[in-house]
A and B are shown apart, each in its own frame.
Chain A
Amino acid sequence: MPVMQLLDPAFARELEALRRRLRVRARSGAGGDHLARRRGGSAEFLEHRPYAPGDDLRRIDWLAFARTGEPVFKLFRSEEDVVVRLLLDVSKSLTAGEPSKLAVGKKLAASIAYMALADSERAQVMTASDGELRTREPTRGRASLPNILRELDALKPHGGTDLTAAIDAFVQRSVRPGMLVIISDFLDPGPFDQAITRAAAAGNDIALLQVLAAEEIDPPYEGDLALEDAETGAVVDVTVDARAVDAYLARLAALVTVLRELAKRHRATYVRVSTREALLPAIRRFIARSVDA
């Protein structure tokens, strides 16, 4: 996939308008351009408070002390350096769909990376396959966008899905929390919800972007089929009729419910994207930090 297809100019202009509304709830611990909720030492004044022993004398408002005779300590809004980590599932199951789920996932990752880099944040691309986590170095600034796009473009589907192992590996390796955007179909029988809970407990701002193919949302199959798993090659004999499709959809709805409840519990974002859906509304829902129904 050419680089320009991941992020064409018109789409980039839309993202440019949206990027200012992106808010990250995580603390990285390092100073940066991103305004943090906690008070800190940036140049933006927040408020005064009485001096307390041990305070940094350089932050005493000497003009106020001259007028009032009381030492007053100046508080400034802290600015943190936030890392937006894009964990992209590249297992074989993402080859489905037209366009493929992986292509849509790449576009989502590129879009979020663009917004983060444009906001002077750091962005890091990670891939998960067969439980193995592969990470790239975080980059900053618009100049590093082409590198990220090339990295994303070069990704090929391989292996199976094991989100639990990948997320746990991420939690173990990450030194500072940040925003963790997980882009996957979440068609994983493993206990990935527990891994996500552990990632959230580590201070990460979680965003779950579920990419589903159209045939997964509305199965077009009918009759007696031997369904072959794209990842494992396992075969399941299914007689697809109305009842079977209803049972499948009930299972899919249960998976969606798990993801939604998980997002609500950890004040995370959950956006479900169909491969046939336009991408911008999904980006808007992501910016709005919504939880899809």
Chain B
Amino acid sequence: MSGLELLNPRGLWLLTAAVPLIVFYVLKIKRQRQAVPSTWLWAAAERDLLAKHPFRKLIAEVPLVLELLAIALLTLALARPAIRGGTIAGDHVAIVVDTSASMGTASHAPGAAAGATRMAEARAAALDVVFALSPGADAILIDAGREARVTSPLERDVRRLRVAIQSLSVNDVEGDLGAAVALAADRLRTLSGGRRIIVITDGALAHPAPLAPAGVDTQVITVGDAEDNTAIVRIDVRQGEDPSTKREQAQVFALVRNYGARPVDAFLTLTLEGRTEPVTSRRVLLPANERVPVVLTFEPQETDRGKGIVVQLSPGDALPLDDVAYGRVPAGERMPVTLASQAPYSWVARALDADPKVVLQRLTVDQLSTVNVDPDALVVVEGACPDKMPGHDVLIVAPPVGDCLGLGVLAAVDQPQITSWETGDPRFRFLTLDGVHVARALPLRTEGPGAALVRAGNETLVADASAFGLTMTLVGFDPGESDWPLKASFVLFVRNVVEIARLHRAQGTVGPVRTGEPLRIVVPRGVTSLRVDGPGMAEHELTAKGGLSIIPSVDRAGFYHARWSAPHIGEALIAANLTSELESDVRPRAVVLEAAGGSASAPTARRTVDAHHEWATAIAVFAALILALDLVWLTRRARPRLARTEASPQRARP
């Protein structure tokens, strides 16, 4: 058990209340009325005294002493004295440490080292808990990041627990303290003896739902002080067009929020990954506790396409993590399309050629495996269905009989009559297939609803074979064997397929990624292995299947690079951001426990391991008793004191 600590030293300011109290006693006195035969001599005596001293002498009267004592005690109670340390009751203790992003906030607690964070404070508090375990007690350490994780199983060895505690670090994610407490309660549930959960958090919770300790005695230790913070809480990068010059430009939409009580004059600066000189910058005045949308625009060069964008908010503040956001320079408006066809004349190629925002690459089917294809390209194959295809989205036209993209291509039928199509599918938006006649088709065998896009009775003429992040379309007939190319709906269909591919390209390989969530990397279908690196992550190999590779969770914000070499060389850049309004709000909030019959505030202590060692309540009660005694004294029946004894030697009598 260590010495006395004041959890709220600012409460000592109440001691200044003693000054006006004494002033009141000196200058304004509540007098008791006393009848005397004559006030003549007293008035004269008072004049004599006043002539010498403008102020009366402060007398140590009982009410004054009581009130000063009450003020002193209330001051002490407000300062929340607590004895740090002590023995924690419980044979099994679960220590749940909040490792969410807000724990990276700078700490200005008394005694904290320069640059210390709330995490350092939490580690110190966790160590205090470990050192205060009762003899024979064991502890389990749970890391409460985005996912709850047991860092140390039930352990009695203090050294191992200390090592585990020292290994805790801040994750750039929204925390889920509730899941961690539930995990702790679950681990303790089957154990016999005293059980206790100690939660160490800054109180800035992204999920404010009450914690559910399932009846296990729970105590919350809070770390960190209230801090102002400004954060980039949302970012989106789009390809756009300058309305005045009509030139392509990248548009970065950022939403900046000021959580402080004072306005902040800030700068938002955009740089490209690997460069130091800023591309563009903008001054932003952030009103107190408000969000401000900011748009940064620049005209990227072709070589900048696909590179990373870093948006920096300055000046820095207590939480540096959310002052930076990452993005990716969007691809240009001109969509790369690779057409592999053996046919001498292609209606699809003609439709693509009509689109000025398409860059058409013509290959043979065999060249698909040898020629480097843009990984974001839409690949159109006519008359074939290769196993491995480069690029991104795929359109297969008139595949051969057999399997293609997981679907079966059946034997040809003549004169199939189109009976219905999926009007809600984006590929068939704004078009109609009425009046389209197909001379010969290879029906497709589909499974599951929604896969058949165009039907001819029971036959499927156009089918969807999409996977996560990839749009793959099979057209079971040669447009040349129909009158569809002669109609506008064919051009619209091709344009729709291109637009979908363009949208995927604009979002990057996978769209916006938030830290703490699984990172899905979409790769070409033939890729089976890729290497990934990122912030806090050494380069390592991942497997891909069906054009998809998954990293279970990313705990750091920044750029993640994925590279593959087979069947084609390719790479993808993924930007991961915290962008959490709740997590960036680093102001402590009350931690609520789910109790029987409702919710209740958790017993909370600051940097102390046991709330029972806080003396504020007892001292406040004692101060109240003293005030009550003072009240009794002031309202008691006035009893004039008996005359002094005649033997009073000091008094000179006339």
Residues of A within 8 A of B (CB): 92-97, 101, 161, 185, 187-189, 213-218, 220-232, 234-239, 241, 243-253, 255-256
Q: Is the beta-carbon distance between B29 and A255 smaller than 8 angstroms?
A: no
CA distance A252 to B40 in the complex (A): 10
Q: Is the beta-carbon distance between B37 and A94 smaller than 8 angstroms?
A: yes
Please name all residues of chain B whose beta carbon is closer than 8 Å to the beta carbon of A213 when the two chains form the complex.
37
CA distance A214 to B643 in the complex (A): 7
B191 at the interface (CB under 8 A from A): no
CA distance A230 to B56 in the complex (A): 26
Q: Is the beta-carbon distance between B642 and A250 smaller than 8 angstroms?
A: no
Shortest distance from the beta carbon of A118 to any chain B beta carbon, whole Å: 33
Shortest distance from the beta carbon of B652 to any chain A beta carbon, whole Å: 6
Which of B33, B39, B641 contacts A222, CB < 8 Å? B641
Which of B34, B45, B640, B653 contacts A247, CB < 8 Å? B45
Q: Please name the 8 residue pairs, one residue from A and one from B, whose CB atoms are nearest each other, closest first.
A: A247-B45, A253-B654, A96-B37, A187-B38, A93-B37, A226-B31, A248-B45, A229-B39
CA distance A94 to B643 in the complex (A): 18
Please name all residues of chain B whose beta carbon is closer than 8 Å to the beta carbon of A226 when the two chains form the complex.
31-34
Shortest distance from the beta carbon of A84 to any chain B beta carbon, whole Å: 27
B651 at the interface (CB under 8 A from A): yes
Q: Is the beta-carbon distance between B644 and A247 smaller than 8 angstroms?
A: no
Shortest distance from the beta carbon of B315 to any chain A beta carbon, whole Å: 59
Please name all residues of chain B whose beta carbon is closer than 8 Å to the beta carbon of A253 when the two chains form the complex.
652, 654
Shortest distance from the beta carbon of B49 to any chain A beta carbon, whole Å: 5
**Main SS of chain A's interface residues?**
mixed
B residues 42-57 touching A (CB-CB < 8 Å): 42-46, 48-49, 56-57
Q: Is the beta-carbon distance between B29 and A239 smaller than 8 angstroms?
A: yes
CA distance A93 to B40 in the complex (A): 11
CA distance A95 to B36 in the complex (A): 10
Please name all residues of chain B whose beta carbon is closer than 8 Å to the beta carbon of A252 when the two chains form the complex.
41, 654
CA distance A231 to B40 in the complex (A): 11
CA distance A237 to B45 in the complex (A): 11
Q: Is the beta-carbon distance between A241 and B59 smaller than 8 angstroms?
A: yes
Q: Is the beta-carbon distance between B37 and A216 smaller than 8 angstroms?
A: yes
Please name all residues of chain B whose beta carbon is closer than 8 Å to the beta carbon of A185 when the two chains form the complex.
37-38
Q: Is the beta-carbon distance between B42 and A238 smaller than 8 angstroms?
A: yes
Q: Is the beta-carbon distance between A247 and B654 smaller than 8 angstroms?
A: no
B596 at the interface (CB under 8 A from A): no
Shortest distance from the beta carbon of A282 to any chain B beta carbon, whole Å: 16
Q: Is the beta-carbon distance between A255 and B37 smaller than 8 angstroms?
A: no
B414 at the interface (CB under 8 A from A): no
CA distance A250 to B654 in the complex (A): 8
Q: Is the beta-carbon distance between A237 and B31 smaller than 8 angstroms?
A: yes
Q: Is the beta-carbon distance between B36 and A96 smaller than 8 angstroms?
A: yes
Please name all residues of chain B whose beta carbon is closer than 8 Å to the beta carbon of A248 when the two chains form the complex.
41-42, 45
Q: Is the beta-carbon distance between B32 and A225 smaller than 8 angstroms?
A: yes
CA distance A230 to B42 in the complex (A): 13
CA distance A237 to B29 in the complex (A): 9
Please name all residues of chain A whose beta carbon is closer than 8 Å to the beta carbon of B34 when the two chains form the complex.
221, 225-228
Q: Is the beta-carbon distance between A220 and B31 smaller than 8 angstroms?
A: no
Please name all residues of chain A whose beta carbon is closer than 8 Å to the beta carbon of B653 when the two chains form the complex.
217-218, 249
B277 at the interface (CB under 8 A from A): no
CA distance A225 to B48 in the complex (A): 17
Which of A97, A247, A255 contacts B48, CB < 8 Å? A247
Shortest distance from the beta carbon of B41 to any chain A beta carbon, whole Å: 4
Which of B31, B56, B642, B646 contacts A225, CB < 8 Å? B31
Please name all residues of chain B whose beta carbon is closer than 8 Å to the beta carbon of A161 when the two chains form the complex.
38
Q: Is the beta-carbon distance between B33 and A235 smaller than 8 angstroms?
A: yes
Please, could you name 10 A-B residue pairs with CB atoms under 8 Å apart, sorted by A?
A: A161-B38, A187-B38, A189-B40, A216-B37, A218-B646, A218-B651, A220-B643, A237-B29, A251-B48, A253-B654
User: Which of B48, B57, B643, B648 has the most chain A CB atoms closer than 10 A to its own CB?
Assistant: B643
CA distance A38 to B114 in the complex (A): 112
CA distance A96 to B38 in the complex (A): 9
CA distance A95 to B641 in the complex (A): 19
Give 9 new A-B contacts, CB below 8 A, not counting A187-B41, A243-B57: A187-B38, A189-B40, A218-B646, A236-B39, A237-B31, A241-B59, A248-B42, A249-B654, A250-B45
Please name all residues of chain B whose beta carbon is closer than 8 Å to the beta carbon of A237 when the two chains form the complex.
29, 31, 46
B19 at the interface (CB under 8 A from A): no
B1 at the interface (CB under 8 A from A): no
Please name all residues of chain B whose beta carbon is closer than 8 Å to the beta carbon of A255 when the two chains form the complex.
41, 654
Shortest distance from the beta carbon of B639 to any chain A beta carbon, whole Å: 11
Using A225-B34, A226-B34 as known contacts, say yes or no to A245 and B651 having CB atoms under 8 A apart: yes
Shortest distance from the beta carbon of B649 to any chain A beta carbon, whole Å: 12
Shortest distance from the beta carbon of B140 to any chain A beta carbon, whole Å: 65
Q: Is the beta-carbon distance between A234 and B39 smaller than 8 angstroms?
A: yes
Q: Is the beta-carbon distance between A221 and B641 smaller than 8 angstroms?
A: yes
Using A187-B38, A231-B38, A251-B45 as known contacts, say yes or no to A224 and B30 having CB atoms under 8 A apart: yes
Residue of A nearest to B48 (CB): A247
Which of A188, A218, A243 contacts B644, CB < 8 Å? A218
CA distance A243 to B42 in the complex (A): 12
Shortest distance from the beta carbon of B36 to any chain A beta carbon, whole Å: 5
Q: Is the beta-carbon distance between A218 and B643 smaller than 8 angstroms?
A: yes
